[in-house]
Amino acid sequence: MAANYPKIGIRPTIDGRRRGVRESLEAQTMGMAQRVAKFLEETLFYPDGSPVQCIIADSTIGGVKEAAAAAQKFKGENVGVSITVTPCWCYGSETMDMDATIPHAVWGFNGTERPGAVYLAAVLSAYAQKGIPAFGIYGEDVQDSGSEEIPADVQSKLLQFAKSAMAVAVMKGKSYLSMGSVSMGIAGSIVNEQFFQDYLGMRNEYIDMSEYVRRFEEDIYDQEEFVKALSWVKENCRIGADNNPQHLQISDKEKELQWETCVKMTLIARDLMVGNPKLAELGFEEEANGHNALVGGFQGQRQWTDHFPNGDFMETILNSSFDWNGRRAPYIVATENDSLNGVTMLFNYLLTNTAQIFADVRTYWSPAAVERVTGYKLEGEAASGLLHLINSGSAALDGTGEQKMDGKPAIKPFWEITDEEVKACMAQTQFRPASQEYFRGGGFSTDYLTKGGMPVTMARLNLVKGLGPVLQLVEGFTVDLPDAVHKTLDERTDPTWPTTWFAPKLTGEGAFQSVYDVMNNWGANHGAISYGHIGADLITLASMLRIPVSMHNVEEARIFRPRVWSLFGTADLESADYRACQTFGPLY
């Protein structure tokens, strides 16, 4: 998929009065825009690792003609995010950006010489009155008029807004590729086109899983890359023990053939999503285009997996930050075609540029239950209990926690990962012959244990009839258990699958009174797990898309939503969020 990333448009607005006022502010106003652009370009990155690009209006904006000129320039430059900056009073509705389909923020300089804060309040009022939610950025401390500093609190809000707004812009016009249909009656794999179109600005693409068979039989994949990939697999993928009963175990020869199929599946899924110019050279020009998919899902069970190898290896490798071609951006692929968890993985990914773990929210282990079964008393982050996150499928290899940041386990953007860390991730992973009772067609399941000590956020998007999409999220930490304790608990489920032990942060209120309450309030069987405590960014992103957040444990001071949300109430923020989202409706 060709990278034509959207840009951030910076709009320096100014007092339009000539003969002294405007002239005295030109340098200060344009300088403010230039500093914001420089800050964002040095701090934010696109998914391919290149710096985010900012476009500044050709002149300061003192009235509607200059506002229109800026809008025209931005349209030609593929601007998908709008940030207005000013140190002074400006004419609110005459200078504002009126594009209702992109996210907006306004930074009003906190200074006493000119009333930037007055303009901020006035233009945010205009945005509210016109039904275009905008984010207000106002520094806590007064600055001198000549200050060229962007205060830390302003930087924080600029980044929180820009990261989320860029996620909105990157999704627009892309596709969700449904590879297959509904898996085992899982509601999330009933792809809801109206949601994708109205809330995300995305289109939906579909292929039947028989397309894989056609590409197998007609050799519609890069033969040279297949040889390279298979060689890499044989050299780097450690084969684990076969847990199947003797009568269900298959021969080494059959396993070799299944590996070939798994590698071909991986190449084909990627080509279906983003295309491959090599296919055009082979005479398959239509197939070379792909489906412009930013995210996809593979049905697998059961129509595919009752006969062919499962999708575990394919999903694991695609979701990871490296393969036989080296380090590269992950391809976001949802197990069981759970489109709602796929979208949640996409949200997390676009906010962090890091690979995601897809898992079942499978078991709540209370301290009493762990002690009864193992004799071990949970402690530290896990003292109040654990969630066992485990599922056959797309747990990215980055999820081993073998990458390091400041000496601690982490998941990093692909361009920061070292060759040694890639090797460490592979060394801590086994590929186990799949359970034949689940997967009659065989395949290889990914098996690793996530290192403890990582801050992570688990999130999930749900659809509710009559309400629409709702997001829930929980911040917490991965946890290490003694080997014998992990083994005992893990072997009570399927030990051939990857495990993440997760301890949510508790607040003592609502769904976060206990770990049991977190599990009991989770809206579906799946969750998307991202490195870092990114709950505040997810809340900001959800507000841009008009998706209410039903459950979170993010401190109030970190929450940043459009200023108009406060006009729906300041005492009960959850209620205000629901009513604001309902009032403004889906972004598109």
From residue 216, give the alpha-carbon distance in Å to each of 37, 234, 260, 501.
Answer: 48, 20, 10, 38
402, 374 contact by CB (below 8 A):
no
CA distance 134 to 154: 16
The gap between the terminal CA atoms of the chain, to the nearest Å, is: 23
In Å, how far are 186, 188, 212, 384 from 468, measured between CA atoms? 18, 13, 33, 33
- Give a three-class secondary structure readout of 69-90: HHHHHHHHCCEEEEEEEECCCC
CA gap 565, 570 in Å, rounded: 8
Cα angle 111, 114, 120; round to 5: 75
* Residue from 97, 198, 222, 336 carrying the catalytic annotation: 336
User: Pick from 155, 136, 156, 157: which is nearest to 86 by CA?
Assistant: 136
Tokens of 472: 């829930």
List, as one string, the DSSP characters of 22-81.
HHHHHHHHHHHHHHHHHHHHHH-B-TTSPBPPEEE-SS-B-SHHHHHHHHHHHHHTTEEE
Query: Measured at the alpha carbon of residue 46, what is the angle toward residues 43 and 49, in degrees to the nearest 5?
Result: 85
Catalytic one of 360, 398, 421, 480: 360
- The Cα 531–Cα 541 span in angstroms is 17
**Is residue 58 a contact partner of residue 70, using CB atoms and an 8 Å limit?**
yes
Q: For the purposes of burial, counting CB atoms within 10 Å of the CB of 421, is it exposed (0-12), middle (13-18) or buried (19 or more)?
A: buried
Does the annotation mark 420 as catalytic?
Answer: no
Q: Active site includes 336?
A: yes
3-state SS, 136-185, equals: EECCCCCECCCCCCCCHHHHHHHHHHHHHHHHHHHHCCCEEEEECCCCCC
The CA-atom distances, in angstroms, between 118 and each of 90, 275, 408 are 9, 51, 45
Handedness of CA 140, 141, 142, 146 (dihedral sign): negative
Which token pair is 291?
């489906």
Exposure string of 373-406, with b = 16+ CB inside 10 Å and e = fewer, is ebebebeebbebbbbbbbbbbbbbbbbbbbbbee
Query: Rounded to an integer, what distance in angstroms lies between the CA atom of residue 340 and that of residue 212?
Result: 23
Helix orientation angle between 339-352 and 535-545, rounded to the nearest 10 degrees: 120
Our CA angle for 138, 142, 145, nearest 5°, is 100
Torsion-angle region of 20 (φ positive above 0: left; ψ -120 to 50: alpha; else: beta): left
Closest CA to 258 of 436, 448, 397: 436
What is the layout of strands, in order, in the sheet containing 175-179? 203-207, 175-179, 293-298, 332-335
5, with CB counted inside 10 A (0-12, 13-18, 19+), is middle
Q: Which residues are catalytic?
A: 336, 360
